[in-house]
Amino acid sequence: MRLGDQRPSDNIQDLRGGGGRGLAIGGGGLATVVLAIGIYLCGGDPSSLLQGEQQPSVPQNTANKAQAPDANHEFVRRLMGNLEDAWRQILPQQTRVRYRDPVLALFEGQVSSACGYASAATGPFYCPGDSKLYLDFAFFRELQREFKAPGDFAQGYVIAHEFGHHIQNLTGIMDKVQRAGNNNRISVALELQADCYAGIWGNFAAKQNRLDAGDVEEAIRAAQAVGDDMIQKRTQGYVVPDSFTHGSAAQRQEYFMKGFQSGDMRQCETLR
């Protein structure tokens, strides 16, 4: 990606080394479901969240502490800036919904959010309870090593997917899902729509001439790698379609490309 001249986001909360070691601080309902989905996306065990949610909360120090400049930090600041620029335009143009920026919270090892306790094993996740995306940079290494999906645009796709959950929160989709009751079919629809929204951001970035040759292929590899069928094959050796919560590799690629090719939120309707 070409982000060298991109405005960096100011909506970054750096919790690395600043605590983030408390247990669950509440949440539940859809907030917990979205967090559990994030755990499953990365091949983790959602039961760690559910167990943590039953434990009493303890105070934690969430004050930012200074971190030495690093390439990952600079990358996500500029990436978030581009995502903000995209959705500040796209959301009001294509809907009647008022846009608000989320916050990207960086952590190491473990963190407490308004959705509960999570460890680095959860991978990136979005919490609608506090409108924050959570990221441990260890996931970037995991994406390359375990999921065989290297590249900056693959990393961008993952963060854009979580940003897509923020858009769902703003548009009321998450409230609609909670009223409908949580089940695997609805979870898959929610995740595929977030993939489609990630593709819409990719369309915006492409129009800005920010993509390099091979970037789209990086995102496709990442989308396929986190398909339920691929994760199940890797972790248990067989596939159980009825247990899918995110969609198959083919579905995730399909919906990313729907957004990327159209740039149209109407093409992302999965919850009908």
pLDDT of residue 31: 43
pLDDT of residue 41: 41
> Residue 243: which pLDDT band, with cuts at 50, 70 and 90?
confident
Does residue 22 have a pLDDT over 70?
Answer: no
Most confident range (mean pLDDT) of 11-20, 169-178, 259-268 is: 259-268
Question: What mean pLDDT is reported for the chain?
Answer: 84
Does residue 214 have a pLDDT over 90?
Answer: yes
pLDDT of residue 19: 44
pLDDT of residue 202: 98
pLDDT of residue 190: 94
> Whole-prediction pTM value?
0.83
Instruction: Report the relative pairing of strands 132-135 and 125-127 from DSSP bridges.
Output: antiparallel
Can you tell me the mean pLDDT for 5-15?
A: 96
107-125, pLDDT tens digit by residue? Answer: 999 999 999 999 888 889 9
Question: Domain 12-268 class?
Answer: alpha beta
The angle subtended at Cα 79 by Cα 45 and Cα 90, nearest 5°, is 100
Does residue 106 have a pLDDT over 90?
Answer: yes
